[in-house]
């Protein structure tokens, strides 16, 4: 039986094949277009990193090219087209350097309210960064991008307006990064924008600011926001949900079933089941109780993205619950597009209608009824399932 990593490796190879088939479209050492805005900070070689803008060869409103919150309802081909169109210019820099002409230009663009007309001059014709992909492997956390080239010069128009909410935390160098992130979140700034400015070292105490690889900033943003929301559900006098609630949603051949459990104390579990074209299954899961997660999740950034959506919902409806998220990934999901689709998929599930059940067994039976993996497989290693069963056995003595 293949592992999750082996299945994901197949997805990576498909993405590289897609890049190869499109590489010949870019043959010049210069490029002009409107950055959505979009920037990328690499992880390979950290703290020596490659950073730079991402720009499509298009002008006008290109915001959708790097706005995952707008991608619900889009298919894989459309999303791939957005991402393939983004050409990444890079320069080498130490992650502790958050000032200087090049970085400050990127920071200004990152604050833009709308796409910024830009010009890139490369050292060489854009190419597929095979060496970096080989060293970093599959990356499901951040959305894929197209070709790359060493950057000789970057110039952005100064005619764009900036987001005043972002500008405020950028210039407040006495505000801790966690407070900056939460302020932006509560003011309605999109998650994708928050992790963008976090990656460019634009928030936090002046002495602590540094560049953060994009994939790390995505998980850090989801983790920070969800941890704060969980804390609020714990201290607030919310009542538990009345019954077992089951929500469902599917997109991009990712199928979600969310079970909210009437507990007065927080616990959260997320399971992933990856199916390949031969019907083989790779499983992964992580669990936390009120004490929090004591390790980096086995399912990586997907865990924090899912946790944020659940904590957000519970605060919105002012209820407490334990939560079990089942994510089943079918082979038609031919390459990963980033954990935004997990966050947005579960958000969408929780907006929709739900079914209520008197007990966990019936709730789980309904939750898996639209999935290919059996109920027994899902509960085999489920910590939250065992917790509910244990609580029921204890309650029988009273």
b/e sequence 334-351, b meaning 16+ C-beta within 10 Å: bbbbbbbbbbbbbbbbbe
pLDDT at 8: 62
CB neighbourhood size of 373 (10 A): 17
Give the pLDDT confidence of 241-257 residue by residue, as tens digits: 999 999 999 999 999 99
Give the pLDDT confidence of 10-44 residue by residue, as tens digits: 656 766 665 666 566 667 788 899 999 999 999 98
Give the pLDDT confidence of 118-149 residue by residue, as tens digits: 999 999 988 777 544 544 344 566 666 778 89
Query: Checking DSSP bridges between strand 244-251 and strand 355-357, what pairing results, if any?
Result: antiparallel
Give the pLDDT confidence of 93-105 residue by residue, as tens digits: 999 999 999 999 9
Query: Checking DSSP bridges between strand 322-329 and strand 267-275, what pairing results, if any?
Result: parallel
Quick one: DSSP state of residue 44? T
pLDDT at 131: 47
Query: Sorting pLDDT into bands at 50, 70 and 90, what band is 396?
Result: very low
pTM: 0.90
Structural contact between residues 36 and 65, judged by C-beta atoms closer than 8 angstroms? yes
Structural contact between residues 313 and 350, judged by C-beta atoms closer than 8 angstroms? yes
Structural contact between residues 385 and 267, judged by C-beta atoms closer than 8 angstroms? no
CA distance 141 to 225: 17
Please state the rounded mean pLDDT for residues 181-209. 97
CA distance 192 to 251: 19
Give the pLDDT confidence of 350-389 residue by residue, as tens digits: 999 999 999 999 999 999 999 999 999 999 989 999 988 8
CA distance 119 to 315: 44
Q: Tokens 């060869």 — which residue?
A: 57
Please state the rounded mean pLDDT for residues 188-210. 97
* String of DSSP letters for 354-394: -EEESSHHHHHHHHHTTSSS-HHHHHTT-HHHHHHHHHHHH
Which range is least confidently modeled, 71-85, 247-261, 275-289? 71-85
Q: Is the peptide bond before 37 cis (omega within 30 degrees of 0)?
A: yes
Give just the sign of the alpha carbon dihedral 170, 176, 177, 183.
negative
CA distance 258 to 320: 15
Quote the mean pLDDT of the chain.
90
Q: How many angstroms from the chain centroid is the CA of residue 300?
A: 10
CB neighbourhood size of 358 (10 A): 9
Pick from 239, 219, 244, 281: nearest CA to 4: 281
Above pLDDT 90, what percent of the chain? Answer: 75
Burial of 69 (0-12, 13-18, 19+ CB in 10 A): middle
Domain boundaries, the chain: 4-161, 238-395
pLDDT at 135: 40
CA distance 222 to 68: 14
Which range is least confidently modeled, 155-159, 322-326, 363-367? 155-159
CA distance 314 to 330: 29
Q: Where does the chain have alpha helices with state H?
A: 4-22, 76-84, 101-110, 130-136, 164-171, 177-186, 191-199, 214-235, 301-317, 340-351, 360-368, 375-379, 383-395
Quick one: DSSP state of residue 241? P
Residue 212 in this model has a pLDDT that exceeds 90: yes
CB neighbourhood size of 94 (10 A): 12
Strand order, beta sheet including 116-122? 30-35, 116-122, 148-156, 87-94, 48-55, 39-41
pLDDT at 395: 46
CA distance 336 to 351: 24
Structural tokens at position 252: 């991009």
């Amino acid at each position: 039986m293949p592992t999750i990593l082996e299945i994901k490796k197949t997805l990576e190879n498909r993405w590289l094949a897609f890049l190869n088939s499109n590489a010949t479209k870019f043959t010049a050492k210069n490029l002009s277009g409107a950055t959505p805005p979009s920037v990328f900070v690499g992880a390979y070689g950290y703290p020596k990193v490659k950073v730079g803008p991402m720009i499509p060869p298009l002008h006008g409103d290109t915001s959708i090219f790097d706005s995952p919150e707008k991608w619900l309802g889009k298919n894989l081909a459309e999303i791939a087209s957005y991402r393939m169109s983004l050409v990444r210019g890079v320069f080498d820099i130490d992650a502790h350097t958050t000032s200087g002409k090049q970085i400050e230009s990127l920071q200004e663009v990152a604050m833009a309210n709308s796409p910024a007309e830009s010009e890139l001059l490369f050292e060489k014709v854009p190419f597929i960064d095979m060496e970096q992909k080989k060293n970093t492997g599959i990356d499901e956390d951040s959305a894929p991008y197209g070709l790359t080239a060493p950057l000789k010069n970057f110039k952005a128009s100064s005619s764009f307006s900036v987001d005043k909410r972002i500008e405020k935390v950028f210039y407040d160098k006495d505000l801790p990064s966690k407070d900056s992130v939460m302020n932006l979140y509560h003011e309605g700034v999109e998650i994708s924008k928050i992790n963008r400015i976090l990656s460019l070292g634009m928030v936090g105490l002046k002495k602590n600011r540094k560049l953060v690889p994009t994939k790390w900033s995505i998980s850090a943003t989801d983790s920070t926001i969800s941890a704060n929301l969980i804390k609020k559900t714990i201290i607030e006098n919310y009542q538990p949900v009345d019954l077992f609630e089951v929500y469902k949603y599917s997109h991009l051949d990712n199928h979600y079933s969310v079970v909210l459990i009437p507990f007065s104390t927080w616990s959260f579990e997320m399971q992933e089941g990856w199916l390949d074209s031969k019907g083989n299954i790779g499983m992964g899961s992580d669990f936390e109780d009120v004490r929090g997660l004591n390790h980096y999740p086995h399912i990586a950034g997907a865990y924090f993205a899912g946790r944020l959506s659940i904590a957000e919902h519970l605060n919105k409806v002012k209820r407490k619950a334990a939560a079990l998220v089942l994510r089943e990934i079918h082979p038609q999901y031919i390459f990963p597009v980033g954990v935004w689709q997990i966050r947005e998929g579960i958000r969408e599930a929780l907006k929709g209608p739900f079914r209520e059940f008197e007990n966990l067994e019936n709730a789980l039976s309904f939750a898996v009824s639209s999935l290919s993996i059996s109920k027994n497989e899902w509960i085999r290693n489920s910590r939250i399932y065992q917790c509910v069963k244990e609580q029921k056995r204890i309650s029988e003595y009273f």
